[in-house]
Structure 1
């Protein structure tokens, strides 16, 4: 089954002066990024079928993004070109690999599809919506909503990741919550961080927060909890799936690699069995952890056999 990943692809300029604020950063390296593009690259690298749908500029950065996605094996026929410059993000890193973002938004906001194109896009597909910029409005948001509503009508699996970035929502937190919940109500599976779960539900308790989202119709919830791993929740069962021991360099794209690895497995063998889902999440934790040992969200991606052969201690 194909996994369609819709949203932004962009250029990440990652500061290599670790533990330095953005204001004091000097040295940057160019990396391909964008949450849904990262997910698509992960799925294709693992050996699955993925397609990225979004917009880039008519510029060398747009060329670079399309070329790299193609090299990973991602289908790119639904990438459109905009007269706006390709979207960029500048990222500075702390000693623990955590990040500070500055966005320069451009072409991704212009993505648009007709209903006929949406129907073609969703043929025999899982839909993943990675929402870092998509909820901000513009044409991309309208396309996002039409596509999600069509997939829901078709009873296709919908995955949603709100990808909250504080720099994108200054004084607009209520709007972010409202729009995220709009898509959560359409989704079968939701991936959030601890911070996002509390923002969306007002609950600091993981179980209570997840139950609140389950009441909206979500069947599977994964809450990434950093070095502890992932909290996996269904209506019937909940538990922490442990992480793998890593030495983080850059956590950019870790969550995207996680959801990519999870969707890769669900596309191969759909399931609602909790034990099987736990095994899927354990594998996804490994994929995500290995990404954190490299600069850039795509650099540390590996093929399926390499991941399987990699042995690390579980972090209890």
Structure 2
């Protein structure tokens, strides 16, 4: 088994996106889609550990097979559904409803000979347990956690509500933490950014990234906290932008690049994703790096 630059762990999703009360169309989603493809476009060797049901569309499988990802860790479970979300956008807010959930990632889904420079743990419906996270840490140089699925609770109708989540045993083995601001609040329990970031660093998290949508992102390293701009572009659809950001970030980080530069690459990669619907636009490496350089020239230490 090769040493992968990046392994993305979590569920693929079948997304139905609704805007202004009308379904737009279905799309392939989930971190193994957006994070993996953004990293692959930058030249990273990427694998996934995920599960889907036998309802997974053949056209999506063909798309993934042509993408250059290593899909040896993708398991199709007969008789089970693929994780399925309805995402409704209204007045700048997003409402999520879980319609179906694939089986969780199990210990035997992690290959015993897995070797990775970075592992991105990014559950979307609580499908990755602490045991799995600890096991993945042993197989990687860097463990990156996106807690988006850990801060979600589900009402009987599947509607998503955010809940508090804080697990020192997981955070203490996390090298890179990335979350949206709302998710960050539910992990840390405070809106005060410096206080929360300091708390994560004290636990041993080396890099903290907080994404802020159109306001860009913040990255905290040993060198301080830096504001990373968002690249101004024509926004068609924002789903997957955060996943693309961290996938691109990690693709550059495992090359030994400066974290602030990597964050600019992440922001640039996200700017391509939002220019089209679904996982259809990621930008070529030279295009992403050109936008990243523009952003890097505007970075501010805060």
Would you call these one fold, judging by a TM-score over 0.5? yes
Pick from 122, 125, 145 the counterpart of residue 160 of structure 1: 145
Question: What SS is found at the alignment partner of 2:165?
Answer: helix
Q: Kindly tell me: are residues 188 and 114 of structure 1, through their superposed partners in 2, closer, same or farther at Cα, counting changes over 3 Å? A: same
Mapped to 2, the partners of 1:85 and 1:187 lie a distance apart of 30
Question: What SS is found at the alignment partner of 2:81?
Answer: coil
Pick from 263, 273, 292 the counterpart of residue 281 of structure 1: 263
Question: What SS is found at the alignment partner of 1:243?
Answer: coil
Query: Which stretches in structure 2 are left out of the alignment for 5+ residues?
Result: none
Structure in which a larger fraction of residues adopt strand: 2
TM-score for both structures, normalised by structure 1:
0.81
Question: What SS is found at the alignment partner of 1:307?
Answer: helix
Deviations 1:233-274 (A, max 9, x none): 02441121222112322111110010011011012x135xxx
Mapped to 2, the partners of 1:308 and 1:223 lie a distance apart of 21
Conserved 8 A contact 1:6-1:129: yes
Mapped to 2, the partners of 1:33 and 1:240 lie a distance apart of 28
- Alignment partner of 1:51 is 2:47: yes
Conserved 8 A contact 2:178-2:246: yes
- Alignment partner of 1:77 is 2:72: yes
Question: What SS is found at the alignment partner of 1:32?
Answer: strand
Deviations 1:124-145 (A, max 9, x none): 4311101221x2xxxx434xx3
Conserved 8 A contact 1:118-1:147: no
Pick from 7, 12, 20 the counterpart of residue 4 of structure 1: 7
Conserved 8 A contact 2:236-2:277: yes
**2:105 matched to which residue of 1?**
111
Which stretch shifts more, 28-37 or 208-217? 28-37
User: In the comparison of the two structures, how many residue pairs are matched?
Assistant: 289
Q: Kindly tell me: are residues 29 and 113 of structure 1, through their superposed partners in 2, closer, same or farther at Cα, counting changes over 3 Å? A: same
Mapped to 1, the partners of 2:56 and 2:205 lie a distance apart of 40
Deviations 1:65-124 (A, max 9, x none): 43222222111011111121222112223465x5322221232x2433428x4322x314
TM-score for both structures, normalised by structure 2:
0.85
Mapped to 2, the partners of 1:53 and 1:80 lie a distance apart of 8
RMSD: 2.7
**2:133 matched to which residue of 1?**
148
Pick from 79, 82, 85 the counterpart of residue 86 of structure 1: 82
State the shift of 1:60 in Å.
4.4
Mapping of residues 105-254 of structure 1, within 5 Å: 105-107=100-102, 109-114=103-108, 117-120=110-113, 122-133=114-125, 135=126, 140-142=127-129, 145-153=130-138, 156-164=141-149, 168-170=153-155, 176-178=164-166, 181-254=168-241
